[in-house]
Each structure stands twice: as C-alpha cells, then as structure tokens.
Amino acid sequence: MSETSIVVLGSANMDLVVSADRAPQLGETVTGRTFRTVPGGKGANQALAAARAGANVQFLGAVGADEYGHRIRQLLAAEGVEISGLVDAPEPTGTAHITVDGAGSNSIIVVPGANGTVTTLTDEHRGIISGATMLLLQLELPLKLVAQAAAFARWAGVRTVLTPAPVVPLPDGLLDNVDVLVANEHEAGVVAGRTGGVTSADQASEVAAVVAKRVREVVVTLGEQGAVHAATGADPLRVPAFTVDAVDTTAAGDTFVGVLAAGLVDGLETAAALRRASAAAALAVQRFGASTSMPSRREIDRFLADRDT
C-alpha cells in the first residue's frame, strides 16, 4: 500500500454470535438457532468497512498468537488493510459474545484480551498516524491510549473521528482533540450529560448542537430514524435512513463510520458522505455478522443508483 488515507487505532475481536428468537432474561435459558464465529471488534470493523468502501487503510492494535488472531490477520490482509502495526500480544485475542434476537437486535459482552495490552502510544504509532489523513478511534482500547492518540493527531494536523463506544465518562480534554464525534442515541446522551438518552431526531439535534460546542462536528445515528449532523456555524442536517428488513444490526454503526470516513477522505461533501454511510449500514443490517455484513464500494454504488431511479 503506497499511501494510507485512514489509520484505525482500535480493537480486534472474534465475535461469538448466537441467534435466537429472543434474548434470555436474567437467570433464564433459551434455545438458540445458530452459532458462528466472525472476526470483529469495533476497530477492525471500521477498518474493513473503510477499505471495502475504497479507502487506503492501516490498522493498529493487538491480537493473540492464537487461531482467532490468525483469522483476523488473514481477513484484514485479504481486504487490503495494512497490518504491519497489528502486533501479537501475550494475552488471547479479544472476544465479543453476541446474542441476536428475532428482530435483529443484539446484546454484546466484550472480553478485551489482547486489546487491553495496547496501553500507550508508541513511536511506531506516532509515525503511522502522522502520515495519515484521518484517524479513527473507539473506546475498546484503554481510554488513556485513546486520549493520547487524539492529542497527538491534533498536534500532527490529522483529522480525528471518535466513536464513544462502549460509552464511558470521557477524560477532560479528549473531546477538545476530536474533529468528528459519531455516536448512537445512547452514547450521545451520555456524552452530553443528558439523562434518559435520546429518543427522537429533534432531541438528537439538540444534543448534537450541545456537543458541537466542543467538537467540530457531531453525528448522532438513530437507527431507523436516520442520522443528525451538527457543526459549529452550520445548519443542522438530517439524513433519513433507508427502509430495509433488518436481520442483524451487529456492526451497522461501525459500517456507517468506516464508510463515512472513506467518503470524507475521498473529498465528498458531508451530506453525500453521510448518505453513502447510511446506505452501507442499510446493506449491512440485511446480513448476519460483523465483518461478513459490510458492503463493497460497488454494492453501495448500486444500492444508491437503484434508489435514485
């Protein structure tokens, strides 16, 4: 890969996915329909989504020296993602234990494993990030590392996109070093300090406007209600969702972020990049799994062309 447009510093997991008619309640056992193992992790997912959408991507993170780590490496490399910054750790590869119900909704427990060993920004990380156009960050790596990376990217003039998931209280200064925050309705509510979360596009617009006072741009995703974009000095922008029959929403948000980033580094206007991201997410939710669900650039183009005719 001669040039890296997007660097992703993030997690790589093996998703252990069970599908069932419904998720069990506390203390209950239910019978599942299927079980599959699918490479995932928010960082690896976003890297794959961006690469399939046509971006040059490099991934920084850690996996274990085990079968799961080997499979993740193979997949990323096969999709054209540069993985020289993906190291082998003494801990096992991280895992995500996912239950998908009959409506396509999911619940997830993540065991960090090797991801938890990436605790500080290295000289190699700095060299790779400084040569990028955009840095994608999430919160499945230690928070101190995420804050370090965002601060360094700001110093290096690299545009940073943060997905605050799994959502936790953010350290002082982190948001000040983020250019684009992409959050779902729950995450956006937590970041904005809003009790009760966000349940409508109007509320999302209000929350986005509040957060945009600290972050240059904010995108709040609302599933079937689409997405809301806010930026300081600009009018709010609402992007409708495409109506599809969802079977699995796992990694839909990561698909959205990766394709949004690919569109932005490709020079698309914000509205056009958001529409492509929404189309990619609509395609992803019609398929099972994380990495297995993310569409190619050609599929996104065809989906949008069909909607424009």
Alpha carbon distance 278, 300 (integer Å): 10
3-state secondary structure of 116: helix
Active-site residue among 254, 266, 301, 306?
254
The answer to whether residue 254 is catalytic is yes
**What residues have CB less than 8 Å from 267, skipping those under 6 apart?**
none
Contact 74, 68 (CB under 8 A): no
Alpha carbon distance 156, 80 (integer Å): 25
Q: Nearest-CA neighbor of 46 among 248, 196, 261?
A: 261
Helix axes 143-156, 123-130, angle to 10 degrees: 40
Alpha carbon distance 116, 273 (integer Å): 32
3-state secondary structure of 5: coil
| β-strand pairing of 82-89 with 57-64 | parallel
The residues annotated as belonging to the active site are 254
